[in-house]
């Protein structure tokens, strides 16, 4: 069987399985391509000339097994392959962490231009780091920076440590277990966070795929703002004079804007899609 035929077959099964695509994959075809690449270990992304390559029967059988688990249990693909990509880097993922998919990746890769000064931030704190994906992307994007990454979940920090070690970034990122800024010292030029922001009631009606992720990583009280509001409340004490807050709040954006009408939130439009990411400068947060 050719690689492109395997992709067609997998896409058809995923479509028939009526699974939900919301963990970094936009469609059955995109996910089928990722799965075919995974079993072939081909790294063939978008290389059309290689789509005619032959796939071994064992690779096809493995892909079909994974597709079966994907559709029968509604498990996100990344939990089955135990890997995903974020900001161009590969991350190990398992059920201890939510699957990296934050649109913050685009802003990090763009160096937060024109929001951050040339030369990049000197000190960065990634709150709610989970798999460590945002901290790693920042350490890579801003080579001169010192990065602190915190999470309240010790289990997720084990995953973050594993990822940072494999990426050779462990020496650049200090991991801390704790509640948001707990234990953080000094001021930061960039406070970045993808916190939980799903309202409790909305969580109950999410597609089954999301139930496989740690609930702690998703829900944030009745309005989804329990964590984001605390971050904005505490940020002035930790933000350097010309610093920037970059916070993802997804569908809770409207509720957050309504709860803090005095703050001039800027919601960048993102080329790769995704909504509900806000930027605030230190001067915007000051009274």
Ligand X SMILES: C[S@@+](CC[C@H](N)C(=O)[O-])C[C@H]1O[C@@H](n2cnc3c(N)ncnc32)[C@H](O)[C@@H]1O
Residues contributing to the site for ligand X (CB under 6 A): 97-98, 100, 102, 128-131, 133-134, 150-153, 156, 179-180, 194-196, 216-217, 227
CA–CA gap between residue 232 and residue 225 (Å, rounded): 10
Q: Would you say 53 or 166 has its CB closer to ligand X?
A: 166
CB of 83 to ligand X, least distance (A): 14
CB of 13 to ligand X, least distance (A): 27
What burial class does residue 261 get, using C-beta atoms within 10 Å of its C-beta: 0-12 exposed, 13-18 middle, 19+ buried?
exposed
CB of 130 to ligand X, least distance (A): 2
CB of 148 to ligand X, least distance (A): 12
> What tokens appear for 74 in the block?
């509604």
- Asked if 92 and 131 count as a contact pair (C-beta separation under 8 A), the reply is yes
Q: Would you say 55 or 87 has its CB closer to ligand X?
A: 87
Q: Would you say 152 or 270 has its CB closer to ligand X?
A: 152
Q: Would you say 7 or 244 has its CB closer to ligand X?
A: 244
Distance of CA 80 to the CA centre of its chain: 17
Torsions phi, psi for 172 (to 5 deg): -95, -15
Q: Would you say 13 or 172 has its CB closer to ligand X?
A: 172
DSSP 8-class letter at 20: -
CB of 155 to ligand X, least distance (A): 8
Residue nearest to ligand X (CB): 130
Nearest to 87 by CA among 133, 122, 124: 133
- Asked if 227 and 196 count as a contact pair (C-beta separation under 8 A), the reply is yes
DSSP 8-class letter at 213: S
């Amino acid at each position: 069987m050719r690689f492109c035929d395997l992709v067609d077959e997998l896409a058809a099964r995923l479509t028939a399985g009526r699974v939900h695509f919301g963990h970094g994959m936009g469609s059955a075809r995109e996910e089928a391509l990722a799965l075919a690449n995974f079993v072939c270990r081909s790294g063939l992304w978008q290389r059309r000339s290689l789509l005619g390559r032959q796939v071994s029967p064992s690779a096809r059988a493995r892909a079909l097994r994974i597709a079966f688990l994907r559709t029968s249990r509604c498990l996100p693909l990344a939990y089955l392959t135990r890997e995903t990509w974020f900001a161009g880097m590969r991350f190990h993922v398992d059920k201890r962490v939510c699957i990296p998919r934050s649109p913050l990746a685009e802003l990090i890769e763009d160096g937060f231009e024109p929001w951050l000064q040339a030369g990049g931030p000197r000190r960065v704190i990634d709150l709610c780091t989970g798999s460590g994906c945002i901290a790693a992307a920042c350490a890579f994007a801003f080579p001169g920076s010192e990065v602190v990454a915190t999470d309240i979940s010790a289990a997720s920090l084990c995953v973050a440590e594993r990822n940072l070690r494999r990426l050779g970034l462990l020496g650049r990122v200090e991991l801390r277990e704790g509640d948001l800024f707990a234990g953080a010292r000094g001021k930061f030029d960039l406070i970045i966070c993808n916190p939980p922001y799903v309202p409790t009631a909305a969580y109950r009606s999410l597609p089954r795929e999301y139930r496989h992720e740690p609930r702690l990583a998703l829900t944030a009280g009745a309005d989804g703002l329990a964590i984001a509001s605390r971050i904005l409340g505490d940020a002035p004490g930790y933000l350097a004079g010309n610093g920037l807050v970059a916070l993802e709040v997804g569908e809770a954006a409207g509720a957050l804007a309504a709860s803090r009408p005095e703050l001039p939130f800027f919601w960048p439009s993102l080329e790769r899609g995704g909504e509900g990411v806000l930027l605030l400068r230190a001067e915007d947060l000051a009274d």
